[in-house]
Amino acid sequence: MFDGIDIVVLPVADTGPLRELYADAMGFEVVERGPVRDPSLWSRLWGLPLPPAESVLLGKPGSEGGWIRLVGVPGLPAPDAAGAPDRPGAYALDFYLRDPAATEDAAGKRGWTFVADPVDYLLPGTRHPVRERMLDQTRSGLRHAFVQYREGRTRCVLGERPEADVSEVAAAVFATGDLPGARAFVTDVLGGRVYFSGRFAGPAVERLLGLAPGEGFDAVIARGPASRNARLEFIGHLAPRGPRPPHAYPRAVAGCAVDDLDALAARLATGAHGASTGVVETAEGRRLGLASRYGARFLFWQR
């Protein structure tokens, strides 16, 4: 059914700064750009409080998913900072980097900042080393995990394109207060396959995310049957550090093609997993929006 995230939608007031980050510093290509047709319809499907005006699709040719759609929404309020993962909703996007220092330098020269210096740790439950650094993407209130690409061990477009330095979106991370429910949703409703379930903790993770000593979180990571890239990841959010205003719109929307849209619509019709738009006809085909109760917003369509 579900086989990875095809397109991550990022609503922003101004697409320019993020287009510069992804295209100029991270090597994404502008695939298409233009006005949003039927803004009120797409506002409903994406869960936006204002009508979208512009769409910019950025992709990595040769990849199977993990593209980015910047959606310009005039008047959209600025998001609050991502901070620690202590609230429900979209938290981070992950990318693999062939030469992390070069890409980090390119982003830094464009004014983007990092939470801390790079850290090294072992993937929980394995002996696989991970080198990671976290960029603070303030335009849509997300963190970006820059992870060292490991030849032959990391599935992404870098294995197909030796000239590329940065992968497609490798994972979209959503924080939830109901991690068991999110896992059941992925497997029982979406038909995804959980290939990692464990806890991220320890001094390196604390430095990476700016956590307090002893803080950590549990995570569930899933792909589909074909094990494509652009994974769906849920993490159990931490106890809130202080009051935060409710966010009026999703920081990111996970767009996914599915094998049987009508069957998925039927499984979501009860509302047990969140508010669904039902199947909606658009100029691009049939779509279904879901504000899940697990902190993630989705847009589904027929594969």
Coil, strand or helix: which one is 39?
helix
Q: Which domain holds residue 173?
A: 7-302
Per the prediction, the chain carries an average pLDDT of 93
In a domain, 218, yes or no: yes
Answer yes or no: is pLDDT of 125 > 70.
Answer: no
pLDDT band at 129 (very low <50, low <70, confident <90, very high): confident
Mean pLDDT in residue range 257-271 = 96
Q: How many residues in total does the chain contain?
A: 303
Residue type, 131: R
More confident call, 123 vs 164: 164
Domain for residue 62, yes or no?
yes
Q: What is the C-alpha to C-alpha distance for residues 42 and 254, in angstroms, rounded to an integer?
A: 14
Specify the DSSP element, H or E, that contains 264: helix 261-268
* CATH, residue 27: 3.10.180.10
Give the integer Cα–Cα distance in Å for 173 and 95: 12
CA distance 176 to 181: 9
With a threshold of 0.85, does the pTM exceed it?
A: yes
Residue 51 falls inside a structural domain:
yes
pLDDT, tens only, 208-234: 998 999 999 999 999 877 756 689 999
- Per-residue confidence (pLDDT) for residue 121, from 0 to 100: 84
Q: What is the C-alpha to C-alpha distance for residues 128 and 169, in angstroms, rounded to an integer?
A: 21
> Does some domain include residue 113?
yes
Give a yes or no: residue 188 inside a domain.
yes
Is 33 a domain residue?
yes
